[in-house]
Amino acid sequence: MPLHIETPLIQSLPLGLAVGQDVWLKMEALQPPGSFKIRGVGAACEHHARAGKRRFVSSSGGNAGMAVAYAGRQLSIPVSVYVPETTTERAKALIRQEGADVIVHGAAWDEANAKALASLDEDSAFIHPFDDPLLWTGHATMIDEAVKAGLTFDAVVLSVGGGGLFAGVAEGLQRNGLGDVPILAVETEGTASLAASIEARQLVALQAVNGIATSLGARQVSQHAFELSQTRPVESVVVSDAEAAQACIRFLDDHRVLVEPACGAALAVAYAHANRLARFKRILMIVCGGATTTVERLQAWQEF
Ligand SMILES: *Cc1c(COP(=O)(O)O)cnc(C)c1O
């Protein structure tokens, strides 16, 4: 039994109306730890458990850390999550709720990550949030499910942080004979590291990331994600924070599911950039989810 669940695949009339085409949603927001991340993280954790590892380590105060904590609880393996002082109380509480140890260290993520790496011994496995082939193979199962359900589609829309979801979906499409289906890779203005690399035609790191889509905040995508952008059909889309926040609110009204701005970014392509989808007939949107936001914070962001 995998640690993720098979998520609903539903047609969205409201998003379809906004786009003027058929839009289908893969509802990864309904995974038990709140995002798609459990697919890859779960697969990686099961792999390490089989290899005899007895402790999992993460340095993500976001959905990756939550997924590792959830996987550890399911597998009865202790989890340590190292986070910087900037991590919200809510995120720490969600990780602790899964029974994981939260260790707060350093002013920024680099320091927390260094501490996490220094804590590793031969019994422990470090679970990277996006740059690991084990993760991509696990994420790819969401495409297996869509294909198995009999859905045909001519484009996939998803959000990009470090590019793990993107790499996993690309792998899923490839292994189902759909390697020529374009992926629309969506980022916010403050986190557009894939867009910057595509434009520079080489892997580049942003000076800084900013804005409300914190789960997209990798300064640099993985080498593999960049290579995919050069070797398969990929279109970069960049949306504003306001569009991402608005999309979350509209999606909450339309589908009664609360998602992070990181996910709202992808939804904003339908709500605010429908022209980018005009040439497709049936679009699969990955509703990647995210557990770190609240209705109250969404309302505050809406005032932008
Ligand atoms: C991690 C995450 C992303 C981005 O995934 P990457 O694999 O880093 O590109 C997008 N949305 C949510 C909700 C996430 O948790």
Residues 6+ apart with CB under 8 A from 33: 63, 66, 67, 69, 70, 98, 291
Q: Tell how far the Cα of 101 is from the centroid of ligand 1, in angstroms.
A: 22
User: Under a CB-based contact definition with an 8 Å cutoff, are residues 88 and 94 in contact?
Assistant: no
User: For residue 60, what pLDDT is reported?
Assistant: 93
Q: Tell how far the Cα of 16 is from the centroid of ligand 1, in angstroms.
A: 24
The two three-digit tokens of residue 256, written as one number: 């009664």
Q: Tell how far the Cα of 246 is from the centroid of ligand 1, in angstroms.
A: 19
Atom of ligand 1 nearest to the CA of 159: 10
Q: Tell how far the Cα of 231 is from the centroid of ligand 1, in angstroms.
A: 22
Q: Measured at the alpha carbon of residue 266, what is the angle toward residues 260 and 269, in degrees to the nearest 5?
A: 135
User: For residue 95, what pLDDT is reported?
Assistant: 97
Q: Tell how far the Cα of 35 is from the centroid of ligand 1, in angstroms.
A: 8
**Ligand 1, pocket-test mutation among 130, 206, 259, most atoms within 8 A of CB:** 130
Beta pairing class for 55-58 and 79-83: parallel
User: For residue 109, what pLDDT is reported?
Assistant: 86
Atom of ligand 1 nearest to the CA of 260: 13
User: For residue 292, what pLDDT is reported?
Assistant: 93
Q: Tell how far the Cα of 151 is from the centroid of ligand 1, in angstroms.
A: 24
For 200-242, what is each residue's pLDDT tens digit? 999 999 999 999 999 999 999 999 999 999 999 999 999 999 9
Q: Tell how far the Cα of 216 is from the centroid of ligand 1, in angstroms.
A: 6
User: For residue 68, what pLDDT is reported?
Assistant: 98
pLDDT over 70 for what percent of the chain? 100
For residues 277 and 275, give the distance between their C-alpha atoms in angstroms, rounded to a whole number.
5
Residue nearest to atom 14 of ligand 1 (CA): 215
Beta strands (DSSP E) in 92-198 are 101-104, 124-126, 155-159, 183-188
Average pLDDT over residues 125-137: 97
Residue nearest to atom 5 of ligand 1 (CA): 161
Q: What is the pTM of this model?
A: 0.97
For 163-185, what is each residue's pLDDT tens digit? 999 999 999 999 999 999 999 99
Complete DSSP assignment for 226-256: HHHHHHS-EEEEEE-HHHHHHHHHHHHHHHS
User: For residue 57, what pLDDT is reported?
Assistant: 98
Model confidence band, residue 270 (pLDDT cutoffs 50, 70, 90): very high
Task: Give residues (CB < 6 A) around ligand 1.
Answer: 35, 37, 62-63, 130, 159-166, 215-216, 218, 260, 262-263, 288-290
Q: Which residue has the higher pLDDT, 39 or 109?
A: 39
Average pLDDT over residues 246-253: 97
What is the phi/psi pair of residue 271, to 5°?
A: -75, -35
The two three-digit tokens of residue 29, written as one number: 């927001």
Model confidence band, residue 193 (pLDDT cutoffs 50, 70, 90): very high
Place of tokens 């193979």: 137
pLDDT at 304 over 80: no
Model confidence band, residue 1 (pLDDT cutoffs 50, 70, 90): confident
User: For residue 156, what pLDDT is reported?
Assistant: 99
What is the phi/psi pair of residue 182, to 5°?
A: -65, 145
Model confidence band, residue 302 (pLDDT cutoffs 50, 70, 90): confident
The two three-digit tokens of residue 292, written as one number: 């770190």
Complete DSSP assignment for 21-53: SEEEEE-GGGSTTSBTHHHHHHHHHHHHHHTT-
What is the phi/psi pair of residue 55, to 5°?
A: -155, 140
Q: Which of 221, 215, 288 is nearest to 258 (CA)?
A: 288
For the chain, which domains are there?
9-36+134-301 (3.40.50.1100), 37-130 (3.40.50.1100)
What Å distances lie between residue 211 and 72, 215, 265, CA to CA? 31, 10, 12
Residue nearest to atom 4 of ligand 1 (CA): 161
Q: Tell how far the Cα of 265 is from the centroid of ligand 1, in angstroms.
A: 11
Residue nearest to atom 7 of ligand 1 (CA): 164
For residues 169 and 165, give the distance between their C-alpha atoms in angstroms, rounded to a whole number.
6
